[in-house]
Amino acid sequence: MAGAPLDLVQLSAGVVLAGAVLALWRRDLRALTSVLALQGCALATLAIVLAVHNGAVGLGVVAGVVLVAKGFVIPGLLARAVRAAPGSRETAPLVNVPASLVAAAVLVVLSYVVAGPLTALFPSPLTRLAPLGLATVLLGFFVLVTRRKAVSQIVGLLLVDNGVALVAFLLTAGVPLLVELGTSLDVLLVVVVLQVLATAMRARFGQFDLDQLRELHD
């Protein structure tokens, strides 16, 4: 793969990682949902380009599912949750924003180092992009661990998931169709489950902040 398709793939992969950085950077929860939508669309674009390039119909179907699920439905659900809950800012993350951005820089470099064997096995322009996906996974993990708002945690989870999907597309042009579809639908279901839980909790606690979840610990 070379030329314009490759440029597009590189651009999409870059957008996914930049989205993860933005998610760490911005405190505004509404901005986070748009970041997710952007990432979802970038992933779908990447999948479409790969599908056209490889002539793979199955991958095209997956791209459609990704576009609908990750580009629209999931961010839409989250945006609705943000609108419903008062206080749409991440006020007190466990690690402050500058420190977490510096940590992000370290994680990005780390993922580049870790991904060494992947590019070594099959050095192609696509596998070389895999570190971007790994970095997205690590940044998502970081968001999940250090942010307190329920929506931020879901965003962290979805960042991890988008990073994994990016790696899957880049390395294997999509794992078997069944598995790929299973993944996308599973993520959708998880978000729905979390939505239901969040709604139930908001109904009980008035508003819902994970800070209030302090009853179960050792």
Partner 1 sequence: MTATTATVVAGGPSAWATAAASVLQVGAVALGGPLLLGLMGKVRARAEGRTGPPVTQVLLDLRKLVRKEAVRADQASAVTALAPRLLVASAAVAAAFTPLVTTRPVVATGADAFVVVYLLLMGSVALALGGLDAGTAFGGMGSSRAMTIGAISEPALLVGVLALAVQSGTSNLPGIVDASLAHPGWLASPQRLLALAALVVVVIAETGRVPVDNPSTHLELTMVHEAMVLEQAGPDLALVTMGEAMRLGLLLGLLANLFFPWGIDASVSGPAVVVALAALGAKTAAMAVLIALVEVSTAKLRLFRVPELLAGGFVLAVVAVMTGLVAR
Partner 2 sequence: MLVTAVLVVPLAAGVLAAVLPWRRSVGWAMVLANAAVLGLGVSLAVRADHHQVLVALDGSLRADALSAFMVVVIGAISLLASVQSVRYLEVETVRGGQGRRHASLYSLLVQLFVTCMLFAVLAANLGALWVAVEATTIATAFLVGHRRSDKALEASWKYVVICSVGIALAFLGTVLVYFAALHVPGHPTGGSVLNWTSLLHASRHLDPGVVRLAMALLVLGYGTKVGLAPMHSWLPDAHSQAPAPVSALMSGVLLTVAFYALLRFKAVADGALGPGYTRTLLVIVGLSSLIVAASLLLTQHDLKRMLAYHSIEHMGLIALGAAAGTTLAVAAVLLHVLGHGLAKAVLFLASGEIALMEGTTEIGEVPALLARRPLLGGVFGFGLVALLGLPPFSLFVSELNMFRGEMAVGLGWAAGLSLLAMAVIFTAVAAHGRHLLLGGPGAGPSPTSRLVGAPLVSGLVACAVLGLSAWPLQSLLYAAARAVVR
Question: CB of 7: closest distance to partner 1 in angstroms?
Answer: 7
Among 56, 61, 95, 97, binds partner 1 (CB under 8 A): 97
Q: Which helix (H) or strand (E) segment is 28 a member of?
A: none
From its phi and psi, is residue 174 left (phi > 0), alpha (psi between -120 and 50) or beta?
left
73 binds, among partner 1, partner 2, none (CB under 5 to 8 A by kind): none
From residue 140 to residue 159, the character string flagging contacts with partner 2 as x (rule: CB under 8 A) and all else as - is -x--x-----x--xx-xx--
- Our CA angle for 212, 201, 208, nearest 5°, is 45
- For partner 1, how many residues bind (rule: CB under 8 A)? 29
Instruction: Please tell me whether residue 18 binds partner 1 under the rule CB under 8 A.
Output: yes
Distance (Å, whole) CA 70 – CA 74: 6
> Any contact of residue 23 with partner 2 (CB under 8 A)?
no
Instruction: Check if the beta carbon of residue 168 is closer than 8 Å to that of residue 174.
Output: yes
Tokens describing residue 197: 């839980």
Q: Select 101 or 122, whichever has its Cβ closest to partner 2.
A: 122
Q: Which range touches partner 1 (CB under 8 A), out of 3-11, 28-36, 62-70, 210-218? A: 3-11
Contact 160, 134 (CB under 8 A): no
Interacting residues with partner 2 between 46 and 105 (CB under 8 A): none
